[in-house]
Chain A
Amino acid sequence: MRHFGNPALAGMLTLALTLAAPVAWAQDKVTLRVWDSFTENSDGMDAMIAAFEAANPTIDVERDVQATEDMRAIIQTALNSGTGPDVFQYDTGPGFAGVLAKAGLIKPLDDLYAGPLAKVLPWTKERVTFDGKTYGVGNQLEFIAVYYNKDLFAANNIAVPTTYAEFQAACTALKDAGITPIAFGNAAGWPAFHVFSAYANNMVPQDQLMAMIRGETSWDDPAVTSAIQAAFVDNEANGCFNASVNAVSYDDANALFAAGQSGMTITGGWMINGFKDNPFATGFFFLPAPDGMATMPPAGLGGGYFVNAATTQGEAANTFLAFLFDPANAALWVEGMSVIPSYSLEGAGVEVSPLLAEAAAALSAGAMGVNIDVLTPEAFNTVMLDGFQAVLGGDRTAAEQATALQASVAQ
């Protein structure tokens, strides 16, 4: 019996097999749709995904970048309508991911924590656990701190404040020197969330604050009123902020600080990358608490990754998450995106700027408070946003704002 005796026939069959091979390979390749909010360091995430695809040639990642606000506006509708992504980045609080979990729109990931996500820090796991199930992977360790211009502090003989009285004295000294003490731009409204978080964590006992966030105790409390008063009314009255804070954008306030025209600014760890090239020595300290209270710098997660409950690419999604949170890929987060991932960097062998190294060390030392707005629902945040603008504009008192916050919870 002759098999493939005809060379022409053999050649045709070989050609056919050669052509068919990529088709079969292409059919095995799956597409994973991913949405994230890395608008500012998008190139870094592109590099992350390129590395993932190189390591997993059968998975093709189709990435869409949505600004945080847009993500909040569309994700529920997208998941509900079946047009949502397989994996997406979203806020981790009970008012955000917690709502999706309750509605059954995201998938529990408990099994992954027993395997590839075992090294994820336990406290970050708690922030994405709702009703006993863990629904996502927290990411982007963040904190709220006071960045300061070391050169201006030195030139005006100001030491890094260790008490709240020293912090107030630093404001006065800078103001007397003709320098804007704190650059603050609240045109968008949300920057006030961070300032409020810094003050509230220091002035409201932590247990009480957490009970307020859970809706168990009232926000209409003298300690909350004092925090609002100190953060917005007193600082404004004492000339600690630049003029017209409600008309200055967040970016302009950062630019004011980066240009050396203000001594300090209160913002998050995500600005480390933006301030690392300042034309002056830049440092940060945590806002000191008033006497008798513990300094509790707000810390939290900038976001987290979640898997669509209706995804048909569950295995690829798991592989993607395992890659993102593999300490072997820490450099892609830290060096490529200036993001501190949710696992220990010890022994990860990454090279970071001094400011980022200081931040990473700070996050693993001492007790940390919470970043309030990522844990509270949108309706509460709206009252914070409008109300703090009103307080800064002199249209509402601190006590009235505390009452309004509680009213929104009751509603």
Chain B
Amino acid sequence: MYLLFYISGAVAILATVMTITRLNAVHALLYFVVSLLSIAVIFYILGAPFIAALEVIIYAGAIMVLFIFVVMMLNLGERAVEMEGKWLSPGMWIGPEILAAILIAEVVYLLSRQPVEVHAIQYVEPREVALALFGPYLIGVELASMLLLGALVGAYHLGYRKPKALENPDADNTDATRAAAGGDLVRAGHDRPAGAA
């Protein structure tokens, strides 16, 4: 059990170091996903399977999809085509693949010896978490909901693109880009260096 913990910890640290040393954002995101998955395995070993599931769903699912979406959105344009060719070189996914294979082997091993398992550290049930969450931490839950609502409104407001007549006239070099983009958020930044650079 301790060996598994240290292996997944080593995978997490390795993936994190690879994350911050990549020059390409997409490669870094790949390593970051592997890091999150290894942290989820650590949570499972530490006796918090509910939190491990939440980590995989919310972090590795939602937040990473958001990151990847934005990175891909910023890179649109015709120069993205030859960049895709560079990104899809087979050497780039070998590193994350090896780390993820280590994690999969650990999880399969853990699940296979589940009936006879004695947790090294005691198991905290999700029921206790829920009782604590909605008992003494009820104010915190309300504050978290207010925070999420504020983030929703804020992100919508920041992401909203004004109509052309209301636009800020001083950003002269970006107006051409906006006209070319047609107010479409996804296509913004399209053929930017060819246009107004």
Q: Do A and B bind each other?
A: no
* Chain B contact residues, CB within 8 Å of chain A: none
